Every structure is written in C-alpha cells, then in structure tokens.
Amino acid sequence: MQSRQTSEHLLSSLLAVTTDALAVFLGLQLAMWLRFHSGMFAIDQVKGIPSSSEKLELTLIATAVFIVVFQNLKLFHRPHQGRFEDTIPRLIRAILVSFVLYLALEAALRLEPEFSRLALLLALGTVTFPVTLERYLLYRIELHRARHAPIDNRVLVVGTDPEMRKLAAGIERDKFQRSRIEGFIRAQQDQNWPDPIPSELRLGDLDQVLPILKEHKVTHLVLSDRDITHEERMNLVKYCEQNYISFHLVPDLFRMLTSDLQVRHIDGIPVMGLGQWPLDRVGPRFIKRSFDIVFSLGALLVASPILLLATLAIKTTSKGPVFYRQTRCGEKGRTFEMIKLRTMQADAEVAGPGWTTPDDPRRTPVGGFLRKWNIDELPQFWNVLMGEMSVVGPRPERPVYVEQFKEDIHKYMRRHLHKPGITGWAQVHGLRGDTSIEERIKLDLFYLENWSPGLDFKIVLKTLLTRENAY
C-alpha cells in the first residue's frame, strides 16, 4: 500500500546494491581461487594462470553485469513484497541470466584472457550461496525495522465479502507496507455485517464514506467493483484524486479468472473468448515435461533410502500392502491409478471414501509421520514418469468427488484441462484434506493461468517448507 518510495527505501536499495556487488565479487574471486590456486584442478600449461590484475578485471566486469541484470529484474525495488522465499525463483533466474549475458559480452568484446569456463561453473555455487545468504540477512534486518516502524498508511476497505476481508488481513500481515486497516464500509445498506468483521471496524455505509475518509485521515481506499454503480465508483475516484488519497480497485473474481481474453474476427465480426493458458502452447508443455522427467528421476534416486525405510516401517507396524493405489481423475478427465505409500489401515474405506481429518483414527502408527513430511507422496514420481501426472499442478481428485463437485462448484472442471500434480499452488497455501474446495479452485485456476518455470520452482520450494493441514 505504499504510495511512493521514501528516503529509507532508497537507502535500503543502495545497501542491497552494495551487498549484492560485494557478494558476487567475492563469489567470483573464490571461484578463481578454487580453479587456479586450490590444487584441486590441473593447470593448462599453455594458458597458465591469469595475473592478479587480469582476474580482478574479469571479476569486476562480471560483477557489473550481475548488478545491471539484478536492477532490470527489479531485485533492488523497495519495499519488499511477500515473503523471502517468494523472491528466490527470481533471484536464481537473475543469476543464470547474468552468467549467460556475461558470456555473450565476453564474446562480443573478445576479452583476453577469457574467464575460465571451469571457474564460471564453480561460480554458479560460489555466487548463488553468498548472494542468497546475504539477501536473507538483509530481508530479516529490513523486516525487523518494518515491524518497529510507525504506521504510514491508513486503509479504508469498501466491501465486506470474503475476498475483501482476506485482502485486508493480507495488508495488515505484510509489515513492509506499514499499513493499518481503519475499517470497512458496506456497499449496500441492506447487507448484514459479516461476523468475522469486529464491531470497531464496522464504520458505516457507502453514503457515509466521505466523512469517514476525513475523520480517519485515510491515505488509501480499496474498493471492490461488485455491488457499486459506475457513478458511485467515479465519484470516489474523483474525491480521492482531489484529496491525495490513493485509490485501489479489486476486480470481480470472474474477471480475474477470465482476464486473458482473446478476440478473433470472423467475416469482420469480433468474437470474444478465453485466451490460451501458458500450458496450451507446445513450448511450455515441452519445458514442463522435461522438468518433470529430470526432477522425478532425481527425486526417486535421492529418496530411495527413505522409501526403503518407510516400506519397512509400514510392514512392521500394520497389516496390508505397502503401496496404496487409488483411481483419480487426470488430464481432461481421464482416470489413472495413483500410487501412494499406505498411511491408513487396510480396511479404512470399507464404509466408503472420506476426507482425512486431524488425528484420523484410521491412520497407521507411522501414517501421521509419513503424511506430515509428504513421504507418502514419493511413489507418485512414478506416475509423473509415466506421463499421468506432473510434479506441480492441481491435485488429482477421486471420480466420485469430481462427479459431485462439477455440479456444485463453478469452473471446477477447468482444473482438469492439464495434468494434475504431486503438489500445487493450493497445497502450499494449506488447502489440503478437508478444506474449502472453492478456495482450492481459485488457486488452481490462478496457477494454470499464470504458469511459468519460476512458479513451479517456487511451489516445489514452498512444499518442502509447508506442513499446514498435512494430516
């Protein structure tokens, strides 16, 4: 909710530039030392070892390239938005782009001597680790300062629906924004105040909004475009402009879910429909499938000792098979057999299918542990290799539930247009087991509409850190 950058934000940005440059420079110097002076690698007798001045020149040029790339990818922008792990995919991408751009620059300028290719390979590690560490430390310092800083922004929310309440909670939770929710305004007088909104935040109705803005010295107005006329909306925009109040509009959820509209002309007649999702195109699907194969092979190889121990634990603590096969709906509704480690008693579903719950009595002695740490999901990497699933995507549902939900929940079947995943955007937000299906659909569709390799990487990373509702 920041209106403009402050001098403190500028100083934070300059500090980030300085520490990033230092971390990159030292990482490159360390890579040079490992290559030429550690004794770990043979020295080319023809090329020899670059002089100190040559190594310094190369690392300074490379460091400058990194800083330019970081700036263009807005890694120095302040204040922060979101959590630290949200910036990691962008940071990794910036580092990789910097290496590629440096190689292109070196070839164009014909630098002599050129940066050792082995040293650049080593620098992938010696640069990535210190930059990530230094950025995390900066993040913690800036977060500490933000938590103890005075409130700069007073926010009034027009609208009381669940989306607006969730937005208000997110604004107050993000300490970097230094914002406080002054209260809520009802868009319609005949609406009842939702119970989750405390009485002290129920400030009034839409016809009272102007005196409320003055009384509370509001700096930001957030408006939902539902339940409000165009004339009322424009009057608010005009008042905010005249009184130096920042105006923000939250579009209707339907518009958010169908924002990528595509217009075609047939015999001169414009026809509007939904545009393509990223994974509707061949290139992105090839990239995603390649990632799935490489990641799944690596995961099964690394996890094989864990799978062996889990197998022994299941066999020794409960009767029944080690693996549990269950029919799920996959891409475009096609069914497949999903494989999991068994975490429930063998007769858990004699009375029919049901959601797992906290402290579920049907769990085996080791079932809770396997679920908490997502170990029971590891065999699904085999489903990924078989092309039935992806590493990341909407979680596959059982046919009995699909038949039920497709009639009751709007847009439910759109989540089945692409392969389901072992983990997904909804799951890393805690929506697992017996949780809101409507909220899952929103997040699943957001993922499909906004897919990118970076988003997949972010979800995989958050999966390793998320334990919410893992029962």
User: What does the pLDDT look like over 395-447, one tens digit per residue?
Assistant: 999 998 888 888 788 778 888 889 999 999 998 888 876 678 888 888 998 99
Instruction: Provide mean pLDDT across the span 300-329.
Output: 92
Q: Strand 179-186 and strand 202-205: pairing?
A: parallel
Rounded to an integer, what distance in angstroms lies between the CA atom of residue 125 and that of residue 185? 52
3-class secondary structure, 198: coil
Return the percent helix, strand and coil in the chain, to nearest 5: 55, 15, 35
The answer to whether residue 303 scores a pLDDT higher than 80 is yes
- Give the number of other CB atoms < 10 A from CB of residue 21: 17
Q: Which of 441-471 are b and which e, b meaning 16 or more Cβ less than 10 Å from the residue's Cβ?
A: bbbbbebbbebebebbbbbbbbbeebeebbb
Least confident piece of the model among 282-286, 335-339, 358-362, 384-388:
358-362
Rounded to an integer, what distance in angstroms lies between the CA atom of residue 322 and that of residue 313? 9
User: How far is residue 165 from each of residues 9, 45, 158, 198, 444, measured CA to CA in Å?
Assistant: 28, 68, 10, 11, 21
User: What does the pLDDT look like over 83-117, one tens digit per residue?
Assistant: 888 888 889 999 999 999 999 988 888 878 888 88
Instruction: Provide mean pLDDT across the span 235-259.
Output: 71
pLDDT of residue 150: 86
Q: What are the residue ranges of helices labelled H in 356-425?
A: 367-372, 380-385, 399-408
Least confident piece of the model among 19-23, 155-159, 198-202, 269-273:
269-273
The answer to whether residue 468 scores a pLDDT higher than 70 is no
**CA-closest candidate to residue 158, choices 237, 82, 215, 81:** 237
Q: Which of 329-362 are b and which e, b meaning 16 or more Cβ less than 10 Å from the residue's Cβ?
A: bbbeeeebebbbbbbbbeebeeeeeeebeeebee
Query: Which of the two residues, 241 and 467, has the higher pLDDT score?
Result: 241
Q: What DSSP state is assigned to residue 151?
A: P
Rg of the chain on CA atoms, in Å: 27
Rounded to an integer, what distance in angstroms lies between the CA atom of residue 434 and that of residue 443? 16
Q: How confident is the model at residue 123 (pLDDT cuts 50, 70, 90)?
A: very high
pLDDT of residue 357: 60
Instruction: Provide mean pLDDT across the span 361-374.
Output: 83
Cis peptide before 321 (omega within 30 of 0): no
The answer to whether residue 23 scores a pLDDT higher than 90 is yes
Instruction: Provide mean pLDDT across the span 220-235.
Output: 81
Token pair 């003055």: residue: 214
Contacts of 5 (CB under 8 A, 6+ apart): 78
185 beta partners: 158, 204
* pTM across the whole model: 0.59
* Domain ranges within the chain, ordered by starting residue: 7-147, 153-250, 280-465
Rounded to an integer, what distance in angstroms lies between the CA atom of residue 419 and that of residue 292? 11
Share of the chain above pLDDT 90, in %: 37
340 beta partners: 324
Q: How confident is the model at residue 471 (pLDDT cuts 50, 70, 90)?
A: very low
Max CA pair span of the chain? 86
Instruction: Provide mean pLDDT across the span 66-89.
Output: 87
User: What does the pLDDT look like over 186-221, one tens digit per residue?
Assistant: 887 777 888 888 899 999 888 889 999 999 999 999
Rounded to an integer, what distance in angstroms lies between the CA atom of residue 91 and that of residue 78? 15
User: What does the pLDDT look like over 330-345, one tens digit per residue?
Assistant: 998 899 999 999 988 8
The answer to whether residue 372 scores a pLDDT higher than 50 is yes
The answer to whether residue 229 scores a pLDDT higher than 60 is yes
Query: Which of the two residues, 17 and 469, has the higher pLDDT score?
Result: 17
Tell me the average pLDDT of the chain.
85
Query: Which of the two residues, 93 and 80, has the higher pLDDT score?
Result: 93
Asked if 19 and 83 count as a contact pair (C-beta separation under 8 A), the reply is no
Asked if 257 and 250 count as a contact pair (C-beta separation under 8 A), the reply is no
- Give the number of other CB atoms < 10 A from CB of residue 394: 25
Token couple for 18? 């300085």
User: Which CATH code, of 3.40.50.720, 3.20.20.70, 3.40.50.150, 3.40.50.2300, is assigned to 153-250?
Assistant: 3.40.50.720
The answer to whether residue 40 scores a pLDDT higher than 70 is yes
Share of the chain above pLDDT 70, in %: 88
